[in-house]
A and B are shown apart, each in its own frame.
Chain A
Amino acid sequence: ETGVTQSPTHLIKTRGQQVTLRCSSQSGHNTVSWYQQALGQGPQFIFQYYREEENGRGNFPPRFSGLQFPNYSSELNVNALELDDSALYLCASSPQDGDNSPLHFGNGTRLTVT
């Protein structure tokens, strides 16, 4: 059973640029959630995708957007990067929304904005 994989592992961007982060969900999981974890803080919910549709969003501006593909993999896109976007971005998958199965997390993408 393949777990959640994220790419790239590290990324350095300049303020104002755009970035795309990728996530492959665990086999059999159709729900993907994205979290932002700033240094020294807990993960903050960005949004969730279920069957290719956004299914809930946290308190993040519209320049944070995402996609989910038919194979349930997902992308997180961030436009007009700001210095405060520097963080560890975590992807998590679960079998289905509304189920009490726990999230399975990837190891994250460390984004640094300079």
Chain B
Amino acid sequence: LAKTTQPISMDSYEGQEVNITCSHNNIATNDYITWYQQFPSQGPRFIIQGYKTKVTNEVASLFIPADRKSSTLSLPRVSLSDTAVYYCLVGDSPNAGNMLTFGGGTRLMVKP
């Protein structure tokens, strides 16, 4: 199983760019990397998914180096509403078991 390791918490200020790195040294060839955001008392919300290099959408960017042993979620110009827990998951499909194991996540606190 591709286990993930993330920082427990991070602090930032409004308007700054935030980069959250996830380590997944045992990632398999067929594995994708998916990031979710969770607010208190809400279900996780899909942010972004990627396999290699760089993926960008309207919310975030995901950077994946060539060896794919880590990935970085980049949130541009964060606001107070980005305060949440961010989870990195690795797996080849939702039914692959290893995609369904949530690690501890990173608790991001955005300050004014």
Do A and B make up one complex? no
